[in-house]
Amino acid sequence: MANLKDIRTRIVSVKSTQQVTSAMKMVSAAKLRKAQDAIIQMRPYADKLSEVLSSVSSNLSSDIENKYAKRGTINKVLIVAITSNRGLCGGFNSNVIKRTVELVSVTHKDLATKNKVDVVAIGKKAVDGLKSKGIKVSNSYLELYDKLNFASVSEIAQAIMDSYANGEYDHIELVYNQFKNAAVQNLVNEQFLPVGDIAQTENKPKKSGYKPSYFFEPSMQEIVVKIIPQSLKIQFFKAILDSVASEHGARMTAMHKATDNAFELIRELKLNYNKARQASITNEILEIVSGANAMKG
Amino acid sequence: MLYLEIISPEKLLFAGEITIIKLPGVSGSFEIMKNHVPIISTLKQGKIKVKETSGIVSYFDVEGGLVEVSNNEVKVLVE
């Protein structure tokens, strides 16, 4: 049986680990709420934008000039992997990395062998994880989470959209964790560009019956051309916010489990400690008694 | 009465009853008052001027955006 002092040190160290994990859980819970608020705050904007887009584009019969529209052949693919900067959040990051590797080596295998698949990493964990899997990361954004706002996100989105518009890539995909609730994240890979058929993909306005006939200024075409990039940026922003909320949710769950495990571990260690203590007391009594007997004899 | 909401992707900037709003439209600045015809228009960089029913005048700087007016409801999406 392990000696008493060893067990005592183990208990102390497990206890302090437990304190750290439970504190991390609290911090994540607070950050999760903030991240969820950000998603809720963005919703009215996104809803209105897609409502206007669908109402404008449904009035528009002819095809509009759109530099984000679909092109014939796919020659080069870009994958954007969105992870966090920090670990200790369960399978959150490794799932994204796994899916990215799968996309590169299975889905786009033919292009990958010709070096026609690029990966952009958002978050430090994606950079490290993909490097260790032997995938070259062509560009990375690590400081995004230090100051997360729409302006900084839309800058990145613009850079990615430009690379599509100027023909560098023909297909762009996002890989990220979609936020469902605090305990559940859905890993998704979503087509970012080219944009789908606008009139079809956007949900139709719910209000039926009275529909005001709008007056458009300057013209429908110009409005659509202006809204499309904006709605792409919103889509990208939403992906980032979802990922952030998922990260905190995942970390909260992971830390909760760690705290529970520490409890269990302490319970076991205490039991062992008491057993060892009892054994040593029994030993001492045995020695005293046998010593006394020897004196008597 | 005219109801106005100014929304950015990050938060609701303004919501309330107003008498008049002045917007930097792409093809020139314009104002909206009560019973304006339904309109959708894009905005360029500039200042939005809002006069509330209480008489308070406030300004918002925008980089660009979109405005929709229908049924005496003004929604401004700003960047």
**Structure confidence at residue A201 as a pLDDT band (50, 70, 90):** very low
Say if residues A111 and A79 touch (Cβ distance below 8 Å).
no
Q: Is the pLDDT of residue A206 over 80?
A: no
**Structure confidence at residue A62 as a pLDDT band (50, 70, 90):** low
Q: Is the pLDDT of residue A197 over 70?
A: no
Residue from B8, B35, B39, B42 to probe the interface with A (highest A Cβ count within 10 Å): B42
> Strands (DSSP E) along chain A, which ranges?
77-82, 117-122, 139-141, 171-181, 184-193, 215-217
ipTM score assigned to the predicted complex: 0.87
DSSP A204: P
CA distances for A144 relative to A53, A78, A114, A152, A254, angstroms = 29, 19, 31, 7, 24
CA distances for B36 relative to A207, A267, B64, angstroms = 21, 72, 21
Strand pairing partners for A139? A120
Question: Which residues on chain A are in Cβ contact (under 8 Å) with B42?
Answer: 217-218, 222-223, 226-227
**A218-224: average pLDDT:** 84
The answer to whether the Cβ–Cβ distance between A226 and B9 falls below 8 Å is: no
| Closest B-chain CA to A36 | B10
Q: What integer pLDDT is reported at residue A210 of this predicted model? A: 54
* Distance separating alpha carbons of residues A205 and A238, to the nearest angstrom: 21
Q: Is the pLDDT of residue A155 over 50?
A: yes
Q: What integer pLDDT is reported at residue A19 of this predicted model? A: 96
- Asked if the C-beta of B11 comes within 8 angstroms of chain A's C-beta atoms, the answer is yes
The answer to whether the Cβ–Cβ distance between A217 and B40 falls below 8 Å is: yes
Residue of A213 and A96 predicted with greater confidence: A96
Q: What integer pLDDT is reported at residue A61 of this predicted model? A: 56
CA distances for A92 relative to A67, A83, A186, B46, angstroms = 34, 8, 10, 42
The answer to whether the Cβ–Cβ distance between B10 and A38 falls below 8 Å is: yes
Question: Which residues on chain A are in Cβ contact (under 8 Å) with B6?
Answer: none
pTM over 0.95, yes/no: no
**Structure confidence at residue A203 as a pLDDT band (50, 70, 90):** very low
CA distance B51 to chain A (A): 23
- Asked if the C-beta of B7 comes within 8 angstroms of chain A's C-beta atoms, the answer is yes
Amino acid symbol at A127: V
- Asked if the C-beta of B70 comes within 8 angstroms of chain A's C-beta atoms, the answer is yes
The answer to whether the Cβ–Cβ distance between B40 and A42 falls below 8 Å is: no
The answer to whether the Cβ–Cβ distance between B40 and A212 falls below 8 Å is: no
* Distance separating alpha carbons of residues A48 and A33, to the nearest angstrom: 24
Phi/psi at A219 (nearest 5 deg)? -155, 160
- Residues belonging to chain A: 297
| CA torsion through residues A210, A215, A220, A223, sign | negative
Say if residues B43 and B64 touch (Cβ distance below 8 Å).
yes
Interior/surface letters B15-47, b for 16+ CB within 10 angstroms, e for the rest: eeebebbbbbbeeeebebeeebeebbbbbbebe
Select the residue of A45, A214, A234 nearest B40 (Cβ to Cβ). Answer: A214
Q: What are the catalytic residues of A?
A: 89
Strand pairing partners for B75? B5, B68
| Mean of pLDDT over chain A | 88
Question: Which residues on chain A are in Cβ contact (under 8 Å) with B75?
Answer: 48
Q: Which residues between 50 and 69 in chain B have a beta carbon less than 8 angstroms from any beta carbon of chain A?
A: 64, 66, 68
Q: Is the pLDDT of residue A2 over 70?
A: no
Question: Which residues on chain A are in Cβ contact (under 8 Å) with B76?
Answer: none
The answer to whether the Cβ–Cβ distance between A44 and B12 falls below 8 Å is: yes
Q: What integer pLDDT is reported at residue A79 of this predicted model? A: 94
Least confident of A3-17, A214-228, A235-249, B13-27: A214-228
At the topology level, CATH places domain B2-71 in ATP Synthase; domain 1 (2.60.15)
Residue of A200 and A291 predicted with greater confidence: A291
Question: Dmax of chain A from CA atoms?
Answer: 117
CA distance A262 to chain B (A): 39
The two three-digit tokens of residue A86, written as one number: 């920090």
Q: What integer pLDDT is reported at residue A208 of this predicted model? A: 46
